[in-house]
Structure 1
Amino acid sequence: MPGGTYTLVLERDAGGPITVGALGEIEFPVGWYAYTGSALGSGGFGRIDRHRAVAAGDNDTRHWHIDYLLGDAATTVDRVVTTEADIECAVAQRVDGPTTAGFDHVDAFGCSDCDCRSHLIYHEQRERLVDAVTDAHEATRDAAATE
C-alpha cells in the first residue's frame, strides 16, 4: 500500500476537555480540526484505517496524540486528504499559516518528533479549513516535485 502524508479533517460536535497523554488536559471547542500526519512505514496509508477504527470505537489503543481526540465520542472523521510524498511538516506549517483568518493551532499536538508548533489546526468553518488543507497539500506537493 502506498504511503505519504495525510490530513484528517475532523468535526467536533460538542466541546470539552480531553486528556491527551503527556500533553495533559486540553480544551477542544466545537468546530473543525485538521490533523496532519505521515504514513511512510510498511503499512502506508493503512494508518488511516486505524484512525477510522479509533474514531468508530473499534480500537481503544492510544499511542499518539490524535488517538485521544479521535477516541472522544464528539469527534468524527469528515474526510482525508492524502499526498504520496514525505511532506508532513511542510503541510502542517502551511495549514497553520493563516492565523489571522480564524485559524488556530493546538500547541505541541502531534509534533513531538519535529520542530513544528503543532500538527493540529482548528477553525470554526468547515469550508475554510478544507480549502486550507487542500491548498496546503497541492502547493507543498508541487514545491517538492520541483526540488
Structure 2
Amino acid sequence: MSKGTYTLLVELAADATVEFGAAGERDLSAGWYAYTGSAFGTGGFARVERHRELAAGERDARHWHVDYLLGHPDSRIADAVKTADEDAECEVSRAIEGDGGPAVESVAGLGASDYDCDSHLQFGPERAALERAIRAAHADSEDR
C-alpha cells in the first residue's frame, strides 16, 4: 500500500459560502483550489479515492476540512497529484502558493490544524498556473 503526500486540484464552478465545520464559514470565489493532505494512515492513498467518492455524492461523512468543499454541489475534483513516501504537506502547500504567482493565495486556517503552517488550501483563478505550481511543488519534494 502506497503512502505519501497528495494535492487535489478542485474546481469550484460558482462563488459559494462553505461551512467548514468548526473552522467556520468562508466565502469562496469561483475558480481553482489546491488542497494538500497526507496519506500516511492505514489506507494510504486510498484517502484520495475517498475524497473522490465524497465529491461524487457517494459518501456523506466529512472528516477533513476539504470534505466540506468537496461536498458542495458546485465543486469537482479535476486531478490528484501524489508523491509517495514523502511527508511534505506544509512544504508542498507553501511551494504551491509561492510558485503559483501573485494570483494564488491561501485560504487561512484550513487543513493545517495539526501542522505549523497557515493553510493547506490555496485558491487560484486559473487552472493552468495552479496546476503547474502543484506539479512543481511535488517534483521539488521528490528531489529532496
TM-score by length of 1: 0.94
Letter in 2 for 1:131: R
Deviation per CA, 1:15-51: give whole Å up to 9, x if none: 1101101111101110000000000112110001110
In 1, the alpha carbon distance for the partners of 2:9 and 2:78 equals 6
- SS of the residue 1:132 aligns to: helix
The answer for the alignment partner of 1:2 in structure 2 is 2
Letter in 1 for 2:126: Q
Deviation at 1:88, TM superposition (A): 1.4
In 2, the alpha carbon distance for the partners of 1:78 and 1:4 equals 20
In 2, the alpha carbon distance for the partners of 1:138 and 1:47 equals 21
Equivalenced residue count is 143
- SS of the residue 2:98 aligns to: coil
The answer for the alignment partner of 2:131 in structure 1 is 130
Unaligned segments of structure 1, at least 5 residues: none
In 1, the alpha carbon distance for the partners of 2:111 and 2:89 equals 11
Percent of aligned pairs with the same amino acid: 45
Say if 1:38 and 1:86, in contact at 8 Å, map to a contact too: yes
- SS of the residue 1:80 aligns to: strand
- Does 2:82 match 1:82? yes
Deviation per CA, 1:43-66: give whole Å up to 9, x if none: 110001110011001111011101
Unaligned segments of structure 2, at least 5 residues: none
Seen in structure 2, the aligned counterparts of structure 1 residues 22 and 35 have a Cα distance that, compared at 3 Å, is: same
- Does 2:121 match 1:120? yes
Deviation per CA, 1:77-120: give whole Å up to 9, x if none: 00000000211111111112247521111001100001111100
In 2, the alpha carbon distance for the partners of 1:81 and 1:98 equals 16
The answer for the alignment partner of 2:22 in structure 1 is 22
In 1, the alpha carbon distance for the partners of 2:78 and 2:100 equals 22
- SS of the residue 1:129 aligns to: helix
Say if 2:101 and 2:129, in contact at 8 Å, map to a contact too: no
- SS of the residue 1:38 aligns to: strand
Say if 1:36 and 1:120, in contact at 8 Å, map to a contact too: yes
Larger CA deviation: 93-102 vs 9-18? 93-102
In 2, the alpha carbon distance for the partners of 1:89 and 1:106 equals 14
TM-score by length of 2: 0.96
Q: How large is the Cα RMSD of the aligned pairs?
A: 1.1
The answer for the alignment partner of 1:33 in structure 2 is 33
